[in-house]
Amino acid sequence: MADQALSGMNVIDLTDYIAGPVCTKRLADYGADVIKIERPRTGDGARNMGPFYHDEPHLEKSGLFLYLNTNKKGITLDLTTKLGKEIFLELVKRADVVVENSTPGVMERLGLTYEDLEKVNPRLVMTSISPFGQTGPYKEYDMTELMAFGMGGPMYHRGAADREPMKYGATPSLYHAGAVAAMATAVAYYGMGRHGTGDYIDVSIMDTQLGTMDGRVSALIQYQYSGRSAPRGNPMGVGAAGTGSGMFPCADGYVHFYGGVRLERQTKMMGNPPELSDPKFYDPETMGEPEVREEYEAYFLSWLMDHTKQEIFELGQAAGNVCAPMNNIDEVLDDPQAKFREFFIEVDHPMIGKVKYPGRPFVMEESPWMLRRPAPLLGQHNAEVYSELGYSNEDLVMLRQSQVI
């Protein structure tokens, strides 16, 4: 087995739910040896979040948990007990990195802050992920995905002008924050290797959102330049970039186009029909007039309804258009580009069998991404990890009976 980019990095993972596990998953996927510590009996809260295999709620059947924790070993340990804390410090002595995402103040109450841990391991890199960071007036506040989008600004100009603001679906801000945390942790680990000193990384989910280039930064800059806030537009994006732009129906679903200044290419895609030869459709002075736009898009919609998503995608790209089909999940899994790059991988889990998950987020030819193990069962690697610390089978029985593990 070839060495991976992060082979030799030893990580203690104290995270749960989404942002923290994304961080440690990225490290594990590229070779880090990650030991995930979970609460005895209950485990990571994500184990109780759907979707569940066959819609059967179970600690070992959460699709979210199974995806976010591949390539990790898993142990149980109660850090609120005296013995549990002592065992944790033994693990820290052997670690390069600790990642945690508890509410600010929790690690201090446990006596496990970075200042505490660096006393037992001066080379330690510690990453803390929290909603608002470890400092400031909001540091102890909780936050949801909806709040991140609302407070961060992008919801202000998302959605129809006469309706309530909208956000992106699911939890992209948490995945983004986790990816940022992984990058920061890898950078600090590299610095530790060069300079021999550890570091503390404070990742604020809100900070990672305020700097996201999805309209937030441009809106902030626009406001500073002009004093105006971007208005809210159509949630489907229709017309956001001019005639022929946005989401449109076709024979078997929907396609998205970026028209406007590229409108000639759109017309070329349709075979340059004489009905669309009038210069008014392409003149910047007239192309935005409602009646001109309506006339162009009436023909455009008629043409789209005679073609499939894939036909439109191929014809459009060949003509130089920025366009793409809106795929459902079946189509995403069957996409020829994803198949060619072997993006989706099959994971064989002891409780649910074989399922497909997203694989590598990018390609590294010399130190590749690889699947080494499925997500751990709760406490699956207790015997392996604790035996390396010198604990016998009898010790493990005692630790279970006293509910330390």
Give tens-digit pLDDT for 387-402. 999 999 999 999 999 9
Cα 331 to the chain's mean position, in Å?
Answer: 21
196 vs 314: CA distance, rounded Å: 53
Q: What is the pLDDT of residue 236?
A: 43
Q: What is the pLDDT of residue 214?
A: 60
Segment 179-222, tens digit of pLDDT:
999 999 999 999 999 999 999 999 999 999 887 756 666 777 77
β-strand partners of 353? 349
Indicate the CATH number for domain 10-212+340-401: 3.40.50.10540
User: Element (H or E) spanning 354, and its range?
Assistant: strand 353-358
Fold of 246-326: formyl-coa transferase, domain 3 (3.30.1540)
182 vs 197: CA distance, rounded Å: 19
Number of other residues whose CB lies within 10 A of the CB of residue 403: 12
List of long-range contacts for 158-161, beta carbons under 8 Å, 24+ apart: 158/232, 158/235, 159/232, 159/235, 160/232, 160/233, 160/234, 160/235, 161/231, 161/232, 161/233
377 vs 69: CA distance, rounded Å: 10
Rg (CA), the chain: 26
Q: Is 331 exposed, middle or buried (0-12, 13-18, 19+ CB in 10 A)?
A: middle
Ranges of each domain in the chain: 10-212+340-401, 246-326
Mean predicted confidence (pLDDT) in 131-142: 95
90 vs 104: CA distance, rounded Å: 23
How far apart are the two ends of the chain, measured CA to CA in Å? 32
